[in-house]
Amino acid sequence: MAELEIVQLGASSLKDGAARWQCSTPANDNDGLESYGEIPVYQGLGLTSLPVAKDDKGCAEGVYAKGIGSKKGILIGGRDTRSKVVGKMDPGDTVAHSTDAEETAQVRLQGKKKSASIVVKGADGKHLMVLVDGKNGKIQVMAKGACIEIDDNGDISLLGKGGAGILIQGGDVCINGNLKLPGMPPGMFIMCAPMTGPITIPAVIATPLTLTPGTWMPCMSVGGYT
């Protein structure tokens, strides 16, 4: 029969594309460790991970099984005492995360909310996120105070940290903020104003285009021209 033992996991490696975890067990009451060396690991299909070595915050632990066939032993599972998944989980949710102590990168699959998200902690400690929200029918990319969103109607919005944005809604493109083009002198911007008279734009490929009074057109301002 197999004999199971809880062991401490240390710095590990990949050999021939497969994970091997360094493991050891307390040898005496003085907290000495007896090393078992690098042991092959049986993880879930499609999942490969390597633990982080012990530090003053805790360590990774594994279940070591001895007496399995002709092998010296195998590891059949593990956990990290430093691990603390960020955010609430409900029954039916699954979270995959990196094995560093802070779980810097996470993939959250939430059944009740019908959503999948990728959450990564940046160097500044703030999170960056990609959210696929099936419940509300939208996709969002959020980072550094900015957001890109495709909603349930197929509309697309881009919002910058400073408040400027672009909304693509049906056949319309709406711009919020000061529009600046390459080559524009400093202090100039483009705004929209209603026309006071008809304008005919010469044909380049097809027929000329005539715009009637009341049509909103871009115009240069602040020291520029209209």
- In order, the DSSP letters of 15-49 are ETTEEEEEEEEE-STT--EEEEEEEEB---TT---
Residue 139 domain-assigned (yes or no): yes
Strand duo 216-221 + 189-194: pairing: antiparallel
Residues 194, 170 share a domain = no
The pLDDT, as a whole number, for residue 34 is 81
Cβ burial, residue 24 (10 Å; 0-12/13-18/19+): middle
Q: How many domains does the chain have?
A: 3
Measured from the Cβ of residue 6, the count of other Cβ atoms closer than 10 Å reads: 12
Residues 75, 7 share a domain = yes
Asked if 128 and 142 count as a contact pair (C-beta separation under 8 A), the reply is yes
Q: pTM for the whole thing?
A: 0.70
Query: H/E element holding 209?
Result: strand 209-211
The pLDDT, as a whole number, for residue 205 is 47
Residues 151, 103 share a domain = yes
- List the chain pLDDT tens, one digit each, 226 residues: 678 889 999 878 888 888 889 988 875 545 667 888 888 899 988 889 999 888 888 889 999 998 877 777 899 989 888 888 767 889 999 999 998 877 889 999 999 999 999 999 998 988 999 999 999 999 999 999 999 999 999 999 999 998 889 999 988 888 888 777 777 666 665 555 554 555 454 544 455 545 454 544 455 444 444 3
- Domain containing residue 156: 94-176
Q: How far is CA 125 from CA 105, 112, 144, in A?
A: 12, 28, 11
| Nearest to 137, CA basis, from 150, 148, 146 | 150
Q: What does the alpha-carbon distance between residue 33 and residue 46 come to, in Å, rounded to a whole number?
A: 32
The pLDDT, as a whole number, for residue 53 is 85
The pLDDT, as a whole number, for residue 184 is 66
Residue 39 domain-assigned (yes or no): yes
Residue 148 domain-assigned (yes or no): yes
Residue 183 domain-assigned (yes or no): no
The pLDDT, as a whole number, for residue 210 is 52
Residues 101, 171 share a domain = yes
The pLDDT, as a whole number, for residue 140 is 96
